[in-house]
Amino acid sequence: MHRIAFAAVLAAAAGPAQAEAPTFSYETELAQAARRAATIAGGVSWTCADTRCTASGRGGNVSVKGCSELARAVGPIMRYRSEIKELPAADLRECNRVALATAGAAAKAPANPQRATTPEIAFTGVASGGDATPAVRKR
C-alpha cells in the first residue's frame, strides 16, 4: 500500500512531461565545393551540396569549435550561422585557422602508430609458462 502511495506522490511531483528542446536550422557557405556530402561536426549532422552545408539541431548556438570541426571535414568556411546567431568574421578566421592547423597536425601523424615500449619493461601479463612475475631488464 505504501509503495502505491509513494509512486503516486513521485508522479505528482514530476509534473507534466517537459516539452522537447526546440531544434534550429544551421547553414554554412564554403569557400569551395565541400569535400564530403555528409558529416557530423559540432554535435549536429551536416548535409553538404556544392558550397552550402545545412543541419538542424538543438541549442541554436554557433562556436569556433563547431565551425572548425566542420571546416576540417568539408573545407574552409566563409559563413557559419544558425537561425539565432552568426559567427562573427574574427571568429570565422579563427575557425579556419584552427581547422587548418589541426588538419596539418593530423596529416603529419603516422597513419598506423606502433605500440611504444619502454626499455625497463620487457612484457606485462602472464608468461607462457604460467609465471605471473614480469620480466625486468637489468641495465
Question: Is residue 11 in some structural domain?
Answer: no
C-alpha cell at 81: 550561422
Burial 87-118 (b: 16+ CB within 10 A, else e): beeebbebbbebbeeeeeeeeeeeeeeeeeee
Where is pLDDT greater, at 38 or 2? 38
pLDDT band at 53 (very low <50, low <70, confident <90, very high): very high
With respect to residue 138, please indicate whether it lies within any of the assigned structural domains: no
Residue 53: inside a domain: yes
Where is average pLDDT lowest: 44-48, 69-73, 98-102, 121-125?
A: 121-125
What total number of domains does the chain contain?
1
Average pLDDT over the chain, rounded to whole? 77
- Is residue 90 helix, strand or coil? helix
Tell me, yes or no, whether 61 lies in a domain: yes
Q: Give the structural domain span for 27.
A: 20-105
pTM of the model: 0.61
